[in-house]
Structure formats: structure tokens, C-alpha cells
Structure 1
Amino acid sequence: MSNIQSPLIAKIIEAIRDNQLDSNHLLLQETIRQDVENKNSIFQIGLACAQNNRSSDARIIFEELQLNNQDDSRIPFNLALIRAMQGDLLGAIAAYDLALIINPEDPDILINKGALLNDLNNYKVALEVLECAIALKRDIPEAWLNKGVALNHLERYQEAIDSYDEAIKLSPASFEAWSNRSIPLKNLRQYVQACESCDKALSYQPDYSMAWFNKADTLHDLKKYEDALICYERALVYRPDHAEAWANKAVLLYSLKRYEDAISCYDKALSFKPDHFEAWSNKGATLLMLKRHEEALSCFENALSDAPQYPEAWANKAVALQMLKHYEEASACYDKALAYKTDIDWAFGDALHLKLKLGMWKNLQESIELLKNKLRSHEKAITPFSALSLIDDSTLHFKVAKTYAHEKFPYNPALGSLVKEYKNKKIRLGYFSGDFCEHPVSYLTAELFELHDRDLFEIYAFSLEQAPATDFMRSRLTNAFDLFIDVSSMSDIEVARYARKLGVDIAIDLSGLTEDSRTGIFSYRAAPIQVNYLGYPGTTGTDFMDYIIADEVVIPEKSRELYTEKVAYLPDTYMVDDSSRVPSQKLFARSEFGLPEKGFVFCCFNNSYKFNSEVIQSWARILSRVSNSVLWLSENNATFRKNLHNEFEKLGINSQRVIFAAKVDPMEDHLTRIALADLFLDTSPYNAHTTALDALKAGVPVLTKNGDAFAGRVAASLLKAIEIPELVTHTLQEYENLAIELALNPQKLIEIKGRLSRNRLSGPLFNTPLFAKNLEKLFMRMHERCVHDLPPDHLLKN
């Protein structure tokens, strides 16, 4: 190749460097053709264009050179660089391959190709290429650096660390290698070392945005949110257009319950990268927390327009559609999500739970068996609450709760050890709930809060959700507590810090592992004693909740080992009621609700997710044996109603015998309406809880089948407390036989109803003042152990 440079070529190069040459591709091409013999000069023009932001011109020049000279690897090598710069990554790979045909043992070509394959997410091939480069020349740090990238993405984390270490040996000040090294360390949960590696990178290059970003991600994983936020902000100072940093900062703000700020950050990320489908999906999840369901749905649809096979967006879309009560569409979205990825966290079981809600039971038993196998393998296959209605197995419920808690709410020492001072004259009880509003939990507990002995206790409410100003129950509860605090806008750590500041002695979580729970508050140790009560019928699976309040029916002695909490036993039943919650004085006729004036009325007002094919088949057998009987159910949703009618028809029961009840307000009228029924048929494995209490209060006996797990033993606990234990059965055959006997033997049912009527007034079930005293005794026993520095232990009933 000639090195003679013509005056025209020299002039062109000078004009390019001085930015004085207009873009004129035809002129450049003509120049190349006129000076075709002087390839080196033309090569210099190409380099000059590439170095002066004229990549289109450079590409034309190198492509022209490539056509006329195919024995110089520099030409396709530079062409590859230019194509990569323009975003043509596959074209760049093709150019590197041409260079390697000419010079197969050039490590620089191999390293650049390997780096580009990493960018294309082809990590396995990238690794092979980079290992070839290292075999040719071991002392190039970039080869080890890029090999570390490939190994990290292949989840070969220790090898990735070793590769970065080799790069650092060759170039100790390689801030990029130090920064990248933190990523596999973080993935191996070696968080301290990961932060140290980022700090080393920053000691060499204080304005290196990616080191700040990687350190922020590590601190985020450690749940050191405030420190992580500072690092994200530093990363964005040095690189304000980094979409991933904006998106990850938004995830952190979501964790801090700063939802509006999180949405602003997602918007920033999307302004720089409009097709960032993960940011669209996560923005939607944030909007769900603000109850902006339609906007959330739009975000998930944007995510799916950019990434139609993104499973998490399909799962999130399912959640949004559920919130909007588009249940069938939601179920179809879950099916899509799981078709693309079978192991999305929690989605498999939650999809099954939704099918229960819709009365869609096809292949349900096979799916439940698959779910059980997943749980035995410690997969994150279902949320604890969804498991209660699908599986009657305390051991598996325990596994689910522990897996979920470990993933979502690990103990967090960020606030340090809690100093137990015991300066309070009275024991300070802090009740934590997102349901201090018109909700079953508050319907049951309102009077308890009012009855607490103010000579012995101070009662604080920590409200985790806002409620409408018109909410009557909210108004009543505000007056029931000595201090009612809306902490809905606070992060978990802020709530825990505030509880400590107020000197709460016993923190009582009324939510447990339900949908809107804030278990993370207790992971910071909000109080010396932390108690799981009422809202969730099972263990939290955590190592920071000290007690669960129960009774001997819901948690028998043999089951205690399946609870991470110590069991504090109440003498009668664990379930409280508000004695002021009584039926209205209205007089209803059966005909007002579509019920026959004569004939036997079985009823069940449970939520639809508590129904299943085994329960329906059992009820069909009962109905077939009791002529002139009907079954009265809560309407729940239209799909459920349609599917149940179809199911009963298949089982030989005329669908007209299955009557659905619409919701009735106020609650007092519903209690009056229940009394029109003759017998309440319970579900399993998830019993009636509040609905069973309502039926008993209305004078309607409840027939139940006792289960293995807490959720399936609640009705038995209530029946024991009202002293009608004969309505507790233990097999499906016993259950059906007794239902039929009670329907066909009016005298026996009349006797039971009479006893129920008397025991409602004299028994402990509806004696709220007695319940309050018994609960306070438990709190005092917990407090006494704590004062004497004794660890939590099972508190047996006195």
C-alpha cells in the first residue's frame, strides 16, 4: 500500500480535522476513486472522519476500501468499530469476522469481538472468543475485563471475580475492572467486599458514574436505602442520561413508599430510553400502589408493546386487571406470563388462587400437586395467603411463609439494637394495620380497643393506609385509641424508628402476610415485643416476630414447631368480636332474596377463593339427598356465578336451586338477612372466619370440617367457644352425613339453634369484655418476661 499522499488528500484530512468540510458522500467517493492506488491516504481520511464525528462518511470510505483491498485486517477492524458506533452490532460482528479471516491471531480483534458479543447478550460465545484472545496474549487487561463480564452474566460469579482480579493485576488503576468486580461480589451476597471494590474504583476515578451506580445497587440489596439513594444521585450527577440509574433509583424510592418520586424517576428513565420495558412495568407496579389502576394497566401494555414476551409484565398486568375486576382477562394474562416463564416469583400459585376466585377448577388437582412439589423444592411458587385456600398442610404453609419472609422481609439491623428502658408507667401497645377503616378486621376489633384498661395500658394505632374522610369506622377508631397515627406515607424504617421513639412496648401486627401487609416494619425491630395477631391465620415465617396469639384448637400443641413465633394461648378462642355489632330490626322475607318460603336453606357467605371442586361435589351430594333444599351463596363475581351454575348442572343439581346473594349494606342488615337460612355449610381447606362468626351471631348453626392448618380450624375454634362442638366434623363423609341429618331432622336442628341462642348470651364467644381481659393478661405476661430479660416462650392458657 502506497504511503504517498496527494495534495488533495492532505487538504481533505485537514478540512475534516478543522470541521470545515461539508458532508458530501459523493465527493469523498469520487476522491477515493481518483486516488485508488493510494490506499493508505484514503485509510487516513477514514480515520479522520471517524475521529471527528463523521461516522457515516467513515463507513462509506472503509466499505469502499474493503471492496478494493481484502488483505488488510485494519480495514474491516475499523469498519467494525464504526458500525458498532452506529448501532449496527451484527454488521460490526461480520466485519470483525472478516478481519479474523485475514489475521486470525490478532488478540485485539478477538477482544473487541468478545466485547461486542457481550453487548449482544451472547455471553457463551463471547467467553469462547475472549479465551482465544487470552490464549494468544495473556497480558492484555481488556481481555480479562471482558471475560469477567461474560462470566458474571453466565452466573459463574467466582470465576468472574478471578477474571477481574487478573485485569487488576495487569492494570492496578483500572477503575472499570474494580467497579465491575463488585457485581459478582454482590451476586454472591458479599456486600462488604462489593462496596470496597466500588470504593477502590472511585479512589482512581471519583467521577466514574458506574462505580457509584454499582455501589448504590449493593447498598440497595443491603436495604441501606438512604445511603443507596445518595449513591444513585452521585451516579446521575456524573451521567444524567443513565436510564438504568434513574430506573433503579425509582425502585429504591418505591421501597421507601415514595411512590410519586419513584414515578418521576421512571419518567426520567423512559425519557432517555423510551423502550425500557422493565421501567414501564415497574412504573405500572408503582401506580398500582397508588390505586391508579387504569394508568398502571397502560404502563404494562407499553412494556409489552416493547417486549411482548416479557413475563413479569404479563403477571403485573394480571394484577392490574384483578384490581379492575376484569378477572377472566387477568387469568389469561397469568397464563401468558407462565407460558413464557414457569418460575416467575409467586405467580404460579397466585394464578391458581385467581382460578379459585373464578370457580375455574379444570385440572386444579394436578396443578396443586405440581405446586406442592415446587414448594418442597423451596421454589418461590406462591404467596402465603394464596396457599391457604389451595393446600391443607401446616408443614407446607410453614415452608411457604419462611421462603416468602426470607425473600421479602429479612431481619434488618439498620436501626441497631433496641434499648429496653421500661420507663413507661403503663404498657404501651402499638396496633399496626392497613385496615383501620370499613374492613372485617376493624369490625371485629373496634370494641376491643375501646375496652382496653387505660389504667394499665396506653393504646396507639399505626395506620398503614389512608381511608376516606367519610369512613365511619375510621372516625370511631380514631376516638378509640389514645394516639392514632397515619403512617401511610412513611417507609418501613421510618415507621419502626417512630415506634421506637414513642416507646412502644408491644407491637401487634394485625395484617400478617396479607396483600397489603407491612411486615418490613418489624424487620427493623419496632418494639421489644412483636406479636402476630388476627389478620393472617398462620405463621409469618420470620425470626423477628416473637409471639402469635392463638387458641388450642387453631394451633394444637403438635403444630407449635411449624410456627417461627412462640404461641400465646387465649383460653377460649383467638377471635375477637364487637358486641355492638348486632342485627338490625328490619324484617326480611325469604322472597326478597329469591329464596323459597318453604324448604331448607343451606348457606355459605364465604369468598369465592375458598370454594373448590371437592366442596361443590360434597354440597351437590347433600342437595341431592335433601329435597326441597336450596343453597344460598355470596355472588362474589359474575364468572364465579356462571361457573358454579354450570358445575352444579353437571353434577345433576338444577341451577335454580343455587341462589346468589348480592352485597347488602349496612352490615346490620346483612346479619339480619343471614337468619333466613337454616344451616351454614363451611368450606375447606380455608374455613369461614368472620362469616362463621356472623352466622353464629345471627343464630344460624355452622357445620364445619376441621382441617390440618390454622385457616382450616377457625370455625372449630368458634364452635368450641360457643359450646356446640358436635358441629365439628373430621371427614367429608361425617360432614355430609351430619348436614343431611340436620336438614331431615328438624327437632335436632331446633335443639341446636336453641342452645346457640342461649350460648350467644352466656358463652365466651361474644363476651368482648372477657376477651379483652384475657388478651391483656397475655400482654402482661409477655411484658413481664421481657422486663426480666427472659426470651419469648409459649404462653399456655391459665
Structure 2
Amino acid sequence: MDLAALQRGFGLPATPFGLAGCLIQPAEQQTLGQPSVCIDYGSAHALALGGLLQAVPLGVAALPPTAVAPPAVAAASAAAAALAPVPSPELDLLLAEAHEAYRAGDYTRALALCAPVHAASPCRVDALLLLGAAHYQRGEYAACVAANDAAILLDPGLAEAHANLANALQQLGDMDTAIVYYRSALRLKPRFTDALNNMASALVAKGLVPAAMEAYGAALAINPGLVDVHNNLGDLWRAQGAAGAAAARARYAEALRLDPGYAPAWRGLGDLAREAGDAAAALGCYGEAARLRPGYADALTGAGVALKELRRRSEAEACFEAAAALRPACALSLGNLGGMYYERGKLEPAIAAYRRALSLQPLFPEAYNNLGNALREAGRVGEAVEAYAACIRQQYARAGAPGAPLPGPVAGRLSVAYANLGGLLKASGQAAPAIACYEQVASLSPESPEAAANLGSAYKDAGQHDAAAAAYKRALALRPDFPEAFANLVHSLQCVCEWAERGPLFARLEGDVRRDLAGGRLPAVQPFHAMAYPFPADLALAISRAYAGQAALAAARLALPPLPHPPAAPLARGQRLRVAYVSADFGNHPLSHLMGSVFGLHDRTRVEVFCYALSPPDGSEWRRRIEAEAEHFVDASGWGPADIARRISADGVHVALNLNGYTRGARNEVFALRPAPVQASYMGFPATTGAPYLPWLITDPVVAPPTVRHCYSEALALMPHCYFVNDYARAHGDVLDKSTLPTRAEVGLPPGKVVYACSNQLYKFDPDTFATWCRILRRVPDRCTNPCPTSRDRLANPPGPWP
């Protein structure tokens, strides 16, 4: 079915839809998953109230002949009789006109006509009932309560006033008092099916599903032909999952037997089909529902979900927008639309939809969580942190009293929000608060292997490798087949030189990686680690290609049209070559320590340099220096990949250099969008990127000798001597002046000995390398070692025997 046909089937014009929403509550996004949606189509509460007040007699209703009013009711009725209004043809005519306006849906006119009747005769219960009904339809629930309260004072035996008061209380969220008034109405009028139907919706809101089913059953026992009640009971059975599917189907079928044109029952059948995994059948049911009731928002919502599951995302988006246009003030609708925009990479529309939802319903923790996801993807870290924090606060507030045990669903939602916040904090280098978040997740979900693994990753990033290894082992105890946890455990063990089981561990790890690659899954071993592991060269290349493919897929989701490039022609006289350096490491990082001067040393008569920073200012001297010396410095740390790529393209860059590769903070999606005609990898990642959008690698013949050229996807631009920039002569020129250097004694080194040092992280060397060092040290008489501070303790007390 094409989009135009689908729109015609739903009674809609085949034109673009505007922004709006639908009745699906967005589900939280897991840290390791993609974002998704779960359905809450028009609850039983909303369906039950659909035509309720129209069924309430607008005159004074008497008690059934067999009913006996209790003394208090009888006394109040006697008082009401004493205050009985004097008949007035003029007032009767006004009230009749008010009734006609109400039946025509003109509730404002109904109120205007009824007001003088009530003012002239405040004891007319029929006028009070109409006033309450009109206020209800206008959403003025407190005024509806007041009108029905006054009617009950005048005639305590009027069951309709009790029921209508209960309806308004239910809309105000006072379910307990609403249920009391529904029961009062039923005592006065035991066969009052509207009261049973709506009391059931209040019981559902309280979580009393069996009692609600009993109320629906009582209504059907009185009148088996109540189509709405059959449908509502079907919705309740459907909410029980697979166990209730057959009963739900029977109720929907009975509703359609009674009324073949009853659209909500087709919607219910569509829900059943979709939940059973048959999205195509579901789409047919939703189409029939919308054919029967053009502009049926719930049917559009269901169709959007089904189309999404069928991967017809543009059609799904159109359905969500159309459904939302019908309910522009529905927060759940806007939240759902935001979820669809997010899934399609439309981050700014998603953010706008979530913010609009929150303006309508400020207490909406799920929308805050999903807003955080969208802001995170857009690179707006500070705002994302605030959104996740708001979600967590509201989840605790929803849970009730502090310190009380959290219900399972609440603990699950809190775990998701804490995990998302922890992931964001970890990615932005805030290790301690990230660990605190993941510890909360592990406490809330003690049997979750993902929670234990995420906690391990937070410890690992903070350099707490022993704690990380313990957390990974916990994750693997909960789920032995957990490749990501196993890969990270292996890495943490290498970071503490735990080599006792190195051979078997890497053999298993290689097997896991090859299975992932064969299955089309992203391997758990990252490219930066793969180049330091004892893997075959072809496997390292395959890992890089898989990660390059992931970045390309993320870029494709942004749906950005091809970006314009400068003309493919020789530079004209006086025209400069525009070179872009893109990095997350403009700051206190080895890359800036090594090449901090390069960005300002280009010949400005021939080269125009642009630096695009993917990380915010860190206040370091290196960041300040690069900002000052580069001809153009752009802080793009708060931008999304699409915005960065557009800017590089708009700046007319000829050559774009990726200084990250697969190191922390990389935004390879930017290069996958191909903002420049020539793109290359340099410095940050010396191995292959495996990325077709980075067709060049700047290296040298020592790092990439001819014998290993097959290990690279790139064409190699070979520097004649060494590709590795070293800025010590400019940045640390003082070390060249011996008169300014400290003595050996001043830095704790013995005089007259050769000093061997290694400043690398421990996972970068292996037992063979360490054994070679030991052999050298044994053969050199006057020597000492000075490993980097993070390595010293571990090497001084190695976990295994010294080679």
C-alpha cells in the first residue's frame, strides 16, 4: 500500500501532514539499544467516557419505584420539594434551547442559555445537570463538580448527578472519591450501566483490573448489547498479554456482531494482530477502523506503529503526524511523534516535539528520558544531563514515599534513566558521577547482566581495573554468553598485566569476534584495542570495517542530501588550499602535546587551516594555544554530526583530516557524510579505519611496510621519514638547554645509570615484550627503570611470575 492509498483509506487527503502526535506512550531507550515505542491506545477510561453525559437524562430523575430512600435522603428530598421552582414558560423555553445547543455540540452556547435559567431559578435540578454536563464537555471539571454537588444537595436521590460528579472527579484524578460516588449512583439505580462502565475505568486507573472486569460484566448482564462495554472489556483482556488474547478477540468479535461498523473493535483487532507479530494484518484492521471512522486518531496511531514495524518509516511518520494533528494538545501523542522523528534521525524536530509534550504535561518522565536521548545525539550534553535528571526525579516522585520499596516497573524505568545518564557522563569524561549512576542501576537491577557490565565499563574508564574485572565477572555469571562483557573483562585483565590465562582468553575472544562478524553483528572488540591484541591482520581490518559501517549507518539515518564540494579543478592563482583538522583532542591530550604547533605553522599564503573541535574547552594551555594560532577555530562540541558536516562543506574545505579514527570522542559520522572531496585519517589512529569514506591514511614505511599493505583499506600517503609529529622543540624548548634541567638527584634518579622508561598503558605490551625488557635489563649493568606512574605499582608487584 502506498502512502497516498493509505491516506485515502484513512479518510485523509494525500498531502503532507503537519506536526502533531498520537496516543502512544514512548518507551525509554536502553543504553545499548535503539530507541523503540509501546502502545497505550485510548485507555478504557477515555473510551468509557466517550458519550457518557449524552446518555444522562437532563431532567430530574426519580428513584426506581422499588427503591426505598434512606431517612437522610427522604429528609433532603422534602427540603428540595419546599424549594421547588415556580413553573415559568420563558425559562422552560431557554432551557429547551440550551438542550438543543448541547446536543449540537455547542457547549459554550448551552452554558450561556442555561446560566440565566439557573440564576432565576437556582433550585432547578434539570438546569444544574445541564450546567454540569456542559462544563464537563468543555473540560471545566471543577465547575462540573460544583454543579452536580448542588444538584445532589437539592435531590440526594438523583443517581445521574452522583454519576456525573464521579466522572468529573475521575478527570481530576481523584479516583477514590469517584468510585465512592459511582457506587452511590448504583445504590440509587442498580441497573445504571453507564455508572458501571465508567466506574470500571476508574478501577482500571487504580490498578484494580479484576474489579473492573466484574463491573463490565455486571453492565453486560443488564444489557448484553452494550457495544462499548464489550470493546472496553476486550481492551482489558488484551492488556493481559497472550493469556488474554483469545478472550479479547471474542469480545471484539461480539462488538462487531452487534455493530459491524464499530471502529474501535477493528482497532482492538489490529492491536491483537500487531502484538502477535503480524504487522501486515494489523495494518489492514487499522485501515478498516479508519474507513469506518474518518479521522480516527487511534487507528492512525496503530497504523503508524504497524508501518514502523514493517520498516515503512516515512509512511509511519506521516500517520503519526496526521494522528497528532487530530490531538494537538495530547502530550502522549507528541511524545510518540518525537520518538518517530528520533528514530529517523530528525533530532531537532524530535526535541521540539518532546518539549511541546512537556509543556502540556510537565509530569512526564518518559518524555524527559527520550528528550535526553535526542539531546545527547545532538551533542547538547548539558541539556541532556538536565533532562535525564528530571526524569529520575519524577520517577521517584511517582513511586511515592522515599525509602519505600520500588515496584518492578518503576525500578526498571529508573534503571534505564540512570543508565542513560551514566553513559552520557562516562562519554563526557565525568568518571565519578558516571560510576555513581551505574551503581544505582546495579542496585535497582541486581540480576541484570547489562547493569553489571555497564558498571564494569565505568570502573574501567576510571582506571579501576580490579573493580571493573569483578563487575564483568558478575555479568558473565548472570549471562555466560555475553560477548561484550567478556571482551571488556579481557581488556581489564590486560590493563593489570593479568597474563595467567592470556592464551585461552584471546582464543575465545577471537572466536567471539569472528562469530559476530559472520552474523553481521558489531564485534565487542573495538578497533583501537584490536591493533594491540594478538589478532591476525585480516581480523583487525574486518573489525575496523564493521565499525566504519556502523558510522555510515548512523550517518544515513540523518537523511542528509549530498553535501556540495569545491569544484574539482586546479587552484587558481592566489587561491588557497583549505585544510580541515577534526578532533576531540584539542586540549590536554597527547595529540595536542605532539602537534600543537602544526595548526598555526602552515604557510597562510598557500593554505587556509580550519580546526573543528569535537570537545568543549578544557581550560588547558594546549587548547588556548591552538585556538589562538589556528586561522579558523570552530568549537563544534555541542553540534550534531549533520551540523558539523554542513559547516565543513559550507567552509569550502578541500582536504579534511580525521585526527581521531577510533579513539575516544570520535565523530566518524561526520566523515561518513563526506563533507570534503578529499578525506584522510592521520595521527590519532595509526591502523586502518576500514572506512570507504576515509580513502587515505597518512603514515610512513616503518609503520606500514610493503609486507602489510594488504591490511589497510586506504591508499597510503607515506611520509619520507616519520609520520609522527613531535612538537617538543617548540612546546618544550627548555629541555634543550642543559643549564635549566634538574639534576638526577632532584627527580629521584640514581647518577650514572641508563634509565629505561615506557609511558604506555599496560595493555599495549604483552609477555613477550616484557620478557625482552627483562633480558635487556639483566645484561645492562648500570640501569634502572622508570615506568609511568599508572604502571609502576603493577610492574613492581606483577600478578604472575617474572619472565
1: CA distance, partners of 2:217 / 2:656: 66
Alpha-carbon shift at residue 344 of structure 1 (Å): 7.8
2: CA distance, partners of 1:198 / 1:190: 12
- In structure 2, relative to structure 1, the CA distance for the partners of 1:325 and 1:466 (3 Å cut) is same
Partner of 1:217: 339
Q: In structure 1, what residue type is equivalent to 2:242?
A: K
2: CA distance, partners of 1:303 / 1:455: 56
1:65-102 superposed Cα distances (whole Å, 9 cap, x missing partner): 999xx999999977754332113457657888999999
Match of 2:522 among 377, 380, 386: 380
Alpha-carbon shift at residue 553 of structure 1 (Å): 5.6
Q: In structure 1, what residue type is equivalent to 2:566?
A: K
1:612-654 superposed Cα distances (whole Å, 9 cap, x missing partner): 46666x55995899798999473564797179622126xxx5x
Q: In structure 2, what residue type is equivalent to 1:327?
A: H
2: CA distance, partners of 1:394 / 1:101: 75
1:119-139 superposed Cα distances (whole Å, 9 cap, x missing partner): 5xx643354444444555555
Match of 2:660 among 511, 514, 528: 511
Partner of 1:610: 764
Partner of 2:243: 125
- In structure 2, relative to structure 1, the CA distance for the partners of 1:76 and 1:496 (3 Å cut) is same
Partner of 1:426: 576
- Report 1:451-600 matches (<5 A): 451-471=601-621, 473-478=622-627, 480-551=629-700, 554-555=703-704, 565-578=714-727, 580=729, 585=738, 586=741
2: CA distance, partners of 1:430 / 1:463: 11
- In structure 2, relative to structure 1, the CA distance for the partners of 1:99 and 1:343 (3 Å cut) is farther
Q: Bigger shift: 245-254 or 582-591?
A: 582-591
Alpha-carbon shift at residue 191 of structure 1 (Å): 2.4
Alignment partner of 1:364 is 2:524:
no
Alpha-carbon shift at residue 529 of structure 1 (Å): 2.0
Name the SS of the counterpart of 1:548 in structure 2: strand
Alpha-carbon shift at residue 148 of structure 1 (Å): 4.6
1: CA distance, partners of 2:493 / 2:192: 65
> Is 2:199–2:212's contact at 8 Å kept on the other side of the alignment?
yes
- In structure 2, relative to structure 1, the CA distance for the partners of 1:340 and 1:108 (3 Å cut) is farther
Partner of 1:770: none
- In structure 2, relative to structure 1, the CA distance for the partners of 1:90 and 1:505 (3 Å cut) is farther
Alpha-carbon shift at residue 188 of structure 1 (Å): 4.5
> Is 2:755–2:786's contact at 8 Å kept on the other side of the alignment?
no
1: CA distance, partners of 2:745 / 2:641: 49
- In structure 2, relative to structure 1, the CA distance for the partners of 1:172 and 1:311 (3 Å cut) is farther
Q: How many residues align?
A: 630
Partner of 1:771: none
2: CA distance, partners of 1:104 / 1:630: 97
2: CA distance, partners of 1:432 / 1:595: 43
Name the SS of the counterpart of 1:514 in structure 2: coil
- In structure 2, relative to structure 1, the CA distance for the partners of 1:596 and 1:190 (3 Å cut) is farther
- In structure 2, relative to structure 1, the CA distance for the partners of 1:150 and 1:476 (3 Å cut) is same
2: CA distance, partners of 1:614 / 1:129: 68
- In structure 2, relative to structure 1, the CA distance for the partners of 1:385 and 1:21 (3 Å cut) is same
Match of 2:589 among 435, 439, 447: 439
Name the SS of the counterpart of 1:531 in structure 2: strand
1:694-740 superposed Cα distances (whole Å, 9 cap, x missing partner): xxxxxxxxxxxxxxxxxxxxxxxxxxxxxxxxxxxxxxxxxxxxxxx
Alpha-carbon shift at residue 435 of structure 1 (Å): 1.7
Alpha-carbon shift at residue 176 of structure 1 (Å): 1.9
Alignment partner of 1:410 is 2:543:
no
Superposition CA RMSD, Å? 5.0
Q: In structure 1, what residue type is equivalent to 2:672?
A: S
- In structure 2, relative to structure 1, the CA distance for the partners of 1:151 and 1:305 (3 Å cut) is farther
Partner of 1:751: none
1: CA distance, partners of 2:701 / 2:217: 74
- Report 1:158-237 matches (<5 A): 158-237=280-359
1:420-472 superposed Cα distances (whole Å, 9 cap, x missing partner): 2467711011111222234322233245445534443222222322444452x
> Is 2:584–2:613's contact at 8 Å kept on the other side of the alignment?
yes
Q: Bigger shift: 504-513 or 456-465?
A: 456-465
2: CA distance, partners of 1:250 / 1:218: 15
Name the SS of the counterpart of 2:800 in structure 1: helix
> Is 2:600–2:631's contact at 8 Å kept on the other side of the alignment?
no
2: CA distance, partners of 1:224 / 1:167: 30
> Is 1:349–1:387's contact at 8 Å kept on the other side of the alignment?
no
Alpha-carbon shift at residue 510 of structure 1 (Å): 0.4
1:327-374 superposed Cα distances (whole Å, 9 cap, x missing partner): 332333344455556788955533432332133454623541334423
- In structure 2, relative to structure 1, the CA distance for the partners of 1:242 and 1:507 (3 Å cut) is same
TM superposition score normalised by structure 1: 0.65
1: CA distance, partners of 2:696 / 2:320: 41
Q: In structure 2, what residue type is equivalent to 1:436?
A: F
Alpha-carbon shift at residue 303 of structure 1 (Å): 4.2
1:565-602 superposed Cα distances (whole Å, 9 cap, x missing partner): 4443444444333462686645876997688988x987
Alpha-carbon shift at residue 544 of structure 1 (Å): 2.9
Q: Bigger shift: 154-163 or 436-445?
A: 154-163
Q: In structure 2, what residue type is equivalent to 1:359?
A: C
> Is 1:124–1:150's contact at 8 Å kept on the other side of the alignment?
no
> Is 1:415–1:497's contact at 8 Å kept on the other side of the alignment?
no
Name the SS of the counterpart of 1:4 in structure 2: coil
Name the SS of the counterpart of 2:725 in structure 1: coil
Alpha-carbon shift at residue 536 of structure 1 (Å): 1.4
Alignment partner of 1:281 is 2:423:
no
2: CA distance, partners of 1:143 / 1:374: 44
Match of 1:84 among 204, 210, 213: 204
TM superposition score normalised by structure 2: 0.65
Q: In structure 1, what residue type is equivalent to 2:469?
A: S
Q: In structure 2, what residue type is equivalent to 1:142?
A: P
Partner of 1:297: 435
Name the SS of the counterpart of 2:555 in structure 1: coil
- In structure 2, relative to structure 1, the CA distance for the partners of 1:5 and 1:299 (3 Å cut) is farther
> Is 1:388–1:397's contact at 8 Å kept on the other side of the alignment?
yes
- In structure 2, relative to structure 1, the CA distance for the partners of 1:546 and 1:105 (3 Å cut) is farther
- In structure 2, relative to structure 1, the CA distance for the partners of 1:623 and 1:575 (3 Å cut) is closer
1:650-707 superposed Cα distances (whole Å, 9 cap, x missing partner): xxx5xxxxxxxxxxxxxxxxxxxxxxxxxxxxxxxxxxxxxxxxxxxxxxxxxxxxxx
2: CA distance, partners of 1:101 / 1:390: 72
Name the SS of the counterpart of 1:273 in structure 2: helix
Alpha-carbon shift at residue 605 of structure 1 (Å): 4.1
1: CA distance, partners of 2:361 / 2:456: 35
> Is 1:105–1:136's contact at 8 Å kept on the other side of the alignment?
no
Alpha-carbon shift at residue 542 of structure 1 (Å): 3.9
Name the SS of the counterpart of 1:508 in structure 2: strand
1:205-247 superposed Cα distances (whole Å, 9 cap, x missing partner): 3434444333322222222222322333333344443322222
Name the SS of the counterpart of 1:353 in structure 2: helix
Task: Identify which of structures 1 and 2 has the higher relative contact order when contacts are C-alpha pairs closer than 8 Å and 6+ apart.
Answer: 2
Q: In structure 2, what residue type is equivalent to 1:388?
A: M
> Is 1:607–1:636's contact at 8 Å kept on the other side of the alignment?
no
